[in-house]
Chain A
Amino acid sequence: MQALVIAAHGSHLNPDASDPTYAHADTVRETGAFDEVREAFWKEEPHFREVIRTLESEEVFVVPLFISEGYFTEQVIPRELRLEDWNPDKWDSDGTAASTVTLEATDVDKTVHYCGPVGTHDAMTDVIVQRAETVTEDSDVGAGFGLAVVGHGTERNENSAKAIEYHTERIREQGRFDEVEALFMDEEPEVDDVTDFFEAEDVVVVPLFIADGYHTQEDIPEDMGLTDDYRLGWDVPAEVDGHRIWYAGAVGTEGLMADVLLERAVDAGADVGDALEAVRNEVSLRDGGTSDSTSGPTTEAGD
Chain B
Amino acid sequence: MTDLKLTKGNIALAEGALQAGCRYYFGYPITPQNDIPEYLARQLPKLGGTFIPAESEIASINMVMGAAAAGKRAMTSSSGPGISLMQEALSYMAGSDTPCVVVNIMRCGPGLGGISPTQGDYSQAVHGGGHGDYHNIVLAPASVQEMFDLTIKAFELADKYRNPAMVIADAMIGQFQEPCRLTPKEPVVLPEKPWALTGRKGRTPQLIKSLYLGDGEQEAHNMLLVRKYREIQDNEVMCEEWHLDDAEVMIIAFGTPSRVAKTAIIQARAQGIKVGLLRPLTVFPFPSKQVYEHSSRIPNVLVVEMNTGQMLRDVQIAAHKDARIHFYGRPGGGFPYPEDVLRELKKAMEGAYERSL
| A, B bound | no
Q: Please list the residues of chain A having a beta carbon within 8 angstroms of any beta carbon in chain B.
A: none
Q: Please list the residues of chain B having a beta carbon within 8 angstroms of any beta carbon in chain A.
A: none
